[in-house]
Structure 1
Amino acid sequence: MSVLVTGGAGYIGSHVVRLLQERGEQVVVVDDMSNGVADRIGGATVVEVDLASDAAPALLGSAIAAHDVSAVVHFAARKQVGESVAKPARYWHQNVGGTANLLQAMEDGGVGKLVFSSSAATYGAPATAVVREDGPAEPINPYGQTKLVGEWMTRAAGRAWGLRAANLRYFNVAGAGWPDLGDTAVMNLIPIVFAALAEGRAPVVFGDDYDTPDGSAVRDYVHVHDLAAAHLAALDHLEADERPFDVFNVGTGVGASVLQVLAEIRAVTGVDVEPEVRGRRAGDPPQLVADVSRIRDTLGWSARRDLHDIVASAWEARPGAR
């Protein structure tokens, strides 16, 4: 039997693939390789396919049958908030359409366990400083909307044909579990700052007038290795007959502002980081911090690494450092 990981050649997916392999699992990676890197996934079988394409259900069905797939971890999606605001139809097609194709292939192939990569973007701009899974889910951008719809889809599949699903709402993921698995896509704050420093540019801070202690946006930064471990805990949880929850926050429960992250980068690298402040980006909430009691109490998972660990590991894994 094997675990199928969509988007497994990407940043987060490759960490999960490696942890699965380390505990002896056979892994099949499904990836369109638009952002994936093939040499990050060891000896895993690779099926190259765009999940949103018309050909995807048949190709997924063949892979499920050929490799005796028993569970799926679903990462493959577009994930940039700003791009989703500018190109909403693209996000609905890729994220919702791709998930629909995957669920159809799983139903047809008799695969009944799924860990779904959701997002804290499903909360939108919450009224509380710390958000709980049972609070309002009111996404304010198309990216978050597609992730919430993905959760609805897994729940509907559970009612219709018995899918067991765990939807993991990630907060801000960063760092590297191993130096060769650093974030190669310059889309998130820490890689963006590192790229700016390498080019001699000032990093950009979007907004310094939020209702937060220093005016910059506050996020809950979780180390990618911790996040990957949460996926294995969720997979194991799907074996249990009693599963009272299907949505879990994955974070640390501690917020850090953009300016605090820049200060930590300054401390780790020794490079003077003086940002350029610009206006807020469309669709960005001022603050998102996780209540992590549910995942701790139900799955026995807690983050082990802090902001320093995140920045230090990302710096070690940055392009050109090895």
Structure 2
Amino acid sequence: MAKTRAIRGATLNAQSRRFNMPSVEDDGDWLDSRDLIDGASPPLRTTVTVERPRTIISRNQSPDVPFDRSINPYRGCEHGCIYCFARPSHAFHDLSPGLDFESRLFAKPDAAAMLREELNRPGYECRPMALGTNTDPFQPIENHWGITRSIIEVLAETGHPLTITTKSDRVVRDIDLLGPMAERGLAAVCMSITSLDPRIAMTLEPRAPSPTRRLKAVEALAAAGVPVYVSIAPVVPAITDGEMEHILERAAVAGAKAAFFIPVRLPHEVAPLFQAWLDEHFPDRAGKVMATIRSLRDGRNNDPGFFTRMKGSGPWADLLATRFRLACRRHGLNAERIVLRTDLFRPPAGPQGELF
């Protein structure tokens, strides 16, 4: 591995042209003189733009996704995970799925108020709400904005079931809400742990909390009675795949009840970003990694097909699935299914809510 520390995840910031967006040409004269005037270019800093969406609950009908509704408090993610399948979504904003995705973020401060309105709509049918399906709800800017916590407060108040996916120990901050919800069968958390090697983790997920902190968060959540999954997603061939059994062992010791894994996916602009990252950080095995990924994805960088996109196909996929199944059995994971209750839901208090 060439480097052990990365300030950001992506090594590129190419403009996406999938949506025929106009390209912006740099002012060459300005670029030539900028360093002469101001010295070295300033470090890349995170900016946050307020977003006012029309609705806050997103719906999906994907047959291989275990939820049909979700909330994303933020767009973009400062964790900078190079493999993130959500990166291409930044192209809709005429921004790069590369460094822009990690540094030019969007926040939805009206999320909790909008959620109250949507839960109050006549005919709303309660099913588990998923947080963290696109970008991490506990990324660093949550410390300032607190949008995720405000959403959890509404769901706790209304008895609405909730699942959270994160790779941040910041989730422990909200144990005061999640613990009582879990006691009523209303909450579960999925902690993403892709590697236990701090050098690999800080390169793969440069601004995410360390694996040790994530395992401590699993312990704290389990101690508070919150059911915890551990997600090994993605498994990166020739880089993290050898850690699968060790991760599952540590997860079980920490108190996790269940686990799952997903082989790395490289949709749209993620593929060239990932390949550039490999060339920068793992030049000794870049070819082997990509060859194995293609063997998992029917000869392509990505397989978008339902079901196979989450599991892969071929001998490598079969081997990973067998190793995972045996390790889970050995450590008592996935012995029982975690089911959240939906019968406790009551619409939010208020003029409209009181009608139900």
Q: For the superposition of Structure 1 and Structure 2, which TM-score range results when normalised by the shorter chain?
A: 0.3 to 0.5
TM (norm. structure 2) is: 0.34
TM (norm. structure 1) is: 0.37
Query: Higher strand fraction: Structure 1 or Structure 2?
Result: 1
